[in-house]
Structure 1
Amino acid sequence: MFNPSLGFILLFVENPLKSSAFYQNLFNLSPIEESPTFSLFALQNGVMLGLWSKFTAEPKVEACAGAQEIGFPAIEVDALYEEWGKKEVTVLQKPCDMDFGRTFVIQDPDGHRIRVYKLREEI
C-alpha cells in the first residue's frame, strides 16, 4: 500500500552553485551535497530541496521557472520578511493579509516563487 508523503522538491536552475549560495544565505543552512550541476538541502521536516541544472536534468526540462511556488510556514511572517529583506532578495509581494492568513512572496535567482505564510487561526 502506498502512503504518500513528500520526500523532495526539485527546482531546475541555471547555475546550481549560484542558487545554492542564495538558499544558504536565505536559510542559514549548508547543503548536504553540492556540485556544479546539483545541490541538495535537508530541511527540518525531512523534506529535501534539490537544485538541479536545467541543462543536465533528465529528462530534458521544457518548463520555465516561476510557474509554481514553494511555501514555508513561519510564526513571525513580518519579522522574517525584515530579516530576508536585508539579504537582497527580490520581493514579489510584501507582507499582507489574505484569505488564508499572513504572507509574503520573494523570488530566487531563477524566478522560482518562495511564499512564507502563517495560516489564519480558526476561531
Structure 2
Amino acid sequence: MLSADITILYASNVMKSADFYAGLFDITPVEKGPTFALFVFGNGFKLGLWSCYTVEPGVNQIASIPSGEIVFTVQDKSEVDALYQTWGTQHQVTVIQKPAQLDFGYSFAVLDPDGHRLRVCFLEEEA
C-alpha cells in the first residue's frame, strides 16, 4: 500500500531553517547538516529541509510563487489563538493571515524564512 509520510521543503540555508523549525515546534531534528535536516513529529510525520543548491535533480533557485502549504491541525480554536500569539511574539514568522473563520475551520497562516506557507487550523466537523 502506498503511503505519504514526509514533506521536503527546499531551503536556501538549511541550518538557519532547521533552527527556525526547531524553535517554532520545540522539536530537535533527528538529522541536521548544511545540506539536509529532518524532523520527526510525534505522530510520525516527517519534515525534511533540503538545500536548494544541492537537491537532485536541481531546482530553479529563483524565488517562485508558493503553490501549497503545510497544515498543522490542533484540537480546538483556543490552540489556534495560542499558537498565533506564541509564533507572532517568540519566532521570526511573517504573518500572512491572522486567525480567521474560513469555510473549513478556524486558522491562521505564516511564512517560514524561505517563504513556505505554514497554516495552523482547527478543522470543524461538517454538519
Q: TM-score, normalised by structure 2?
A: 0.89
- Other structure's SS at 2:108 match: strand
Q: Which residue of 2 aligns with 1:72?
A: 72
Structure 2 residues without counterparts, runs of 5 or longer: none
* Structure 1 residue ranges, 4+ long, deviating more than 6 angstroms after superposition: none
Q: Name which of structure 1's ranges 103-112 and 58-67 shifts more when overlaid on structure 2.
A: 58-67
State how far apart, in whole Å, the 1-side matches of 2:40 and 2:124 are.
Answer: 27
Q: Distance between the aligned counterparts of 1:98 and 1:4, measured in 2?
A: 31
Partner of 1:119: 123
Q: Which residue of 1 aligns with 2:109?
A: 105
Structure 2 residue corresponding to 1:36, chosen from 34, 37, 40: 34
Please state if 1:91 is matched with 2:95: yes
Is the partner of 2:22 in helix, strand or coil?
helix
5+ residue gaps, structure 1:
none
The offset of 1:17, in angstroms, is 0.2
Alignment: residue pair count: 121
Whether the 8 Å CA contact 1:71–1:115 is kept in 2: the answer is yes
Q: Are 1:65 and 1:110, in contact at CA under 8 Å, matched by a contact in 2?
A: no
Which residue of structure 1 aligns with residue 13 of structure 2? 15
Corresponding residue for residue 4 of structure 1:
2
What's the TM-score, normalizing by structure 1?
A: 0.92
